[in-house]
Amino acid sequence: MTAHSPPAPSERQVRLALAGVLLTVFLWGANVVALKAVLGVLNAETTNTVRVLTAGTVLVTLAVRAHGWPRWDARTWLTVAGVGLLGNTLFQAFFLTGIELNPAGVAGLVNGLVPVLVLPLGLLLGQSFTRRQGAGVAVAFAGLLGLLALTRVPGVSVTPTGLLWLLAAGVVWALYTLFNRPLSARVGTLPFVAFSLALGSVPYLLYALPHLQFAGLKGTGVPAAAWLGIAFSALGANVVAYLAWAGGAQVLGAARTSVWQALAPVIALTLSAALLHERLPASVWGMAAVILIGATLANWPESDGGRKPPVGSRIRGGDEKSPPLQ
């Protein structure tokens, strides 16, 4: 029997897939701005507890409805939980601390840093990358060092400590990305993402329990806008973005899809200026642009037909069809 190639997607399918990918990067960029606004009202523990419980419940429900309850052995359950610990308890703790200590626009650069960090960390696991990808890493790190140098300039609202927290968050999520690839290929992307979120968040939820707030930071009631911001972050940036990105990658291919990821930090920078009235100096915008140019260079599809998949094709979600969770 001859194997038949799947039919090429129709023009309408391509348009819908591209719309889904663009919606996803908008949700990722807006997510950082929404979290920055919510953290002005509620503490990080309360904010993240509600986000995790909401997104985890929805994703586990979708995974079980689509694939049934996982029949994994004890080792697989422990591995999924361990990798989930990296991507949820540690990442969320570092990321939310970084958002609190930095302008939202700068915090949004984590989306651009992860594809860059995956490349050098992949060397530890015996992976390799091309010269062009190596050049992209060098450019992005030059921009990061430039941003670090700017923290010493009076009047710049970016702090060295805040940047280090964001860098730590990026490193943790890059490690999560590298470890989750074989797992998600073996157990399925949606089940892996759902149960790694549910299990990996347990230590964070236990830590957060004594710190939960039932009123705003000023002792008054929590405004409805704060709950809407948390719901947007949990359902929009995680659940809707996950499904839209997965559908887009399935139609467009991982290489064409992943290039759009660099738009998320641009959206975060723009929305933070428009909605939160953050006024970052031109020098900060310039260093952010250098980081994103490096990330795009490292993430650009190969011109030779893609013998080596671009690093961004599997960033943060596990395989070629899965997106990052925020």
The domain spans of the chain are 13-210+224-314
Residue 104 neighbours by CB distance under 10 Å: 25
Query: What rounded mean pLDDT belongs to the chain?
Result: 83
pLDDT greater than 90 at residue 178: no
Structure tokens at 222: 């929590």
- Report how far residue 49's alpha carbon sits from residue 26's, in angstroms, rounded to the nearest whole number: 23
pLDDT greater than 70 at residue 315: no
Cα dihedral across residues 222, 225, 230, 234: positive or negative: positive
Write b or e for each residue in 61-78: b if 16 or more Cβ atoms lie within 10 A of its Cβ, otherwise e.
ebbeeeeeebeeeeebee
Q: Model confidence at 295, in pLDDT bands (50, 70, 90)? A: confident
Classify residue 164 by burial, with Cβ atoms within 10 Å: 0-12, 13-18, 19+: middle
Average pLDDT over residues 288-310: 70
Average pLDDT over residues 235-251: 82
The predicted structure's pLDDT at residue 115: 73
pLDDT in tens, 245-272: 777 777 776 656 666 777 888 899 899 9
Q: Model confidence at 319, in pLDDT bands (50, 70, 90)? A: very low
Query: Comparing C-alpha atoms, which of 140, 138, 159 is closest to residue 148?
Result: 159
The predicted structure's pLDDT at residue 271: 92
Total-model pTM: 0.81
Pair 156, 284: CB distance under 8 Å: yes
pLDDT greater than 90 at residue 132: no
pLDDT greater than 70 at residue 141: yes
Classify residue 274 by burial, with Cβ atoms within 10 Å: 0-12, 13-18, 19+: exposed
pLDDT in tens, 96-125: 999 999 899 888 888 778 777 878 888 877
The predicted structure's pLDDT at residue 204: 94
The proportion of the chain whose per-residue pLDDT surpasses 70, expressed as a percent, equals 87
- Report how far residue 139's alpha carbon sits from residue 145's, in angstroms, rounded to the nearest whole number: 10
pLDDT in tens, 8-66: 778 888 888 888 888 988 998 999 999 999 999 999 999 999 999 999 999 999 999 99
- Report how far residue 110's alpha carbon sits from residue 166's, in angstroms, rounded to the nearest whole number: 6
Q: Model confidence at 310, in pLDDT bands (50, 70, 90)? A: very low
Region of poorest pLDDT, from 138-142, 160-164, 193-197, 310-314: 310-314
